[in-house]
Amino acid sequence: MKLLAGNSNLPLAQAIAGYLEIPLTRASVRRFADEEIFVEVLENVRGEDVFVLQSTSYPANDNLMELLIMIDALRRASARRITAVLPYFGYARQDRKPGPRTPISAKLVANLVTVAGADRVLSVDLHAGQIQGFFDIPTDNLFAAPVMSADVATRYGEHNLMVVSPDVGGVVRARALAKRLGNAPLAIVDKRREKPGESEVMNIIGDVRGRFCVLVDDIVDSAGTLCNAAGALKAAGAEGVVAYCTHGVLSGGAVSRVENSALTELVITDSIGNHDLIAGAAKIRHMTIAPLIAEAIRRIAEEASVSSLFN
């Protein structure tokens, strides 16, 4: 087994390699003067089972091209099997046609990864479960819920917990976390989004008075939804509000928005390498999913069950 890492999230790749006690494969991933990407694998990978570690986060297009070119380099170097490990799958929010003459970009990216030469895909908390069907190759979708639930129980277990979904579409995700927290009660924030990047909280479905609320979502981008939801929950009588999100995109003024919000804390995983972005942020904390991904990689390499990770 070989591990090859792109430039999108080297700290996570190194943590995964450390867990597996396998060094990262030596490679050169650099750019020419005109920003074209060049990849050279500096070790023999012929007949090897290779896992390519790359989040397609900001800058999404650069990181996506790095991934595709690394896969192509491995295919032409006669790797036996190539698994694209995408802790964060960019373009996942474009998984349907929201209006006429619009693309389904998630399907396009899935096609690109497949045509480049990937034999299977491993990702974490895909924005929509049906994206697995966009790939014409085996796809494993890992869940951060076990890691999140353990952290919530350790840090906030003494509180009267209630899990809250920030929108109707996230109810399944919130219910899964609530079940892991001993069937904690569930509430839903009903919101209306006027345009991308903006949201307005309309109503809280459920009685949150005296409860310590745990907001759970897969992606936090502008943080507008979470901050509005936290304010509405506090106004409805919640004792406190924390948020757990798998992918911390945190674009624009998201960090300052979180810092000035009613949130006690925002916990994100290290699926996106944005450590510098949140440096000094008092309310934002990283939680690693390196052991989760590493264990899934080990099981794929050994042809063992991945789903049993979540039993």
136 is annotated as contributing to ligand binding: no
φ, ψ dihedrals at 198, nearest 5°: -130, 140
Q: Does the N-terminal peptide bond of residue 59 adopt cis geometry, omega within 30 degrees of 0?
A: yes
43 is annotated as contributing to ligand binding: no
CA-CA-CA-CA torsion sign (73, 75, 80, 81): positive
161-165/212-220 β-pairing: parallel
161-165/186-195 β-pairing: parallel
40 is annotated as contributing to ligand binding: no
Burial of 171 (0-12, 13-18, 19+ CB in 10 A): middle
Tell me the one-letter amino acid at 220.
Answer: V
222 is annotated as contributing to ligand binding: yes
26 is annotated as contributing to ligand binding: no
221 is annotated as contributing to ligand binding: yes
35 is annotated as contributing to ligand binding: yes
Of 123, 147, 85, 121, which is closest to residue 291 (Cα–Cα)?
147
240-248/212-220 β-pairing: parallel
Residue 97 annotated among the catalytic residues of the structure: no
223 is annotated as contributing to ligand binding: yes
Tally Cβ neighbours within 10 Å of residue 111: 13
217 is annotated as contributing to ligand binding: yes
Of 177, 176, 86, which is closest to residue 134 (Cα–Cα)?
86
**The length of the chain, given as a count of residues:** 311
Catalytic site residue from 2, 97, 191, 234: 191
193 is annotated as contributing to ligand binding: yes
140 is annotated as contributing to ligand binding: no
285 is annotated as contributing to ligand binding: no
93 is annotated as contributing to ligand binding: yes
Q: Using the structure block, give the residue that is written with the tokens 């309310």.
A: 283
Q: Tell me which residues are annotated as active site.
A: 191
Which parts are annotated binding residues for Mg(2+)?
127, 167
Give the annotated binding-site residues. Answer: 34-36, 93-94, 127, 167, 193, 217, 221-225
Binding-site positions for D-ribose 5-phosphate: 193, 217, 221-225
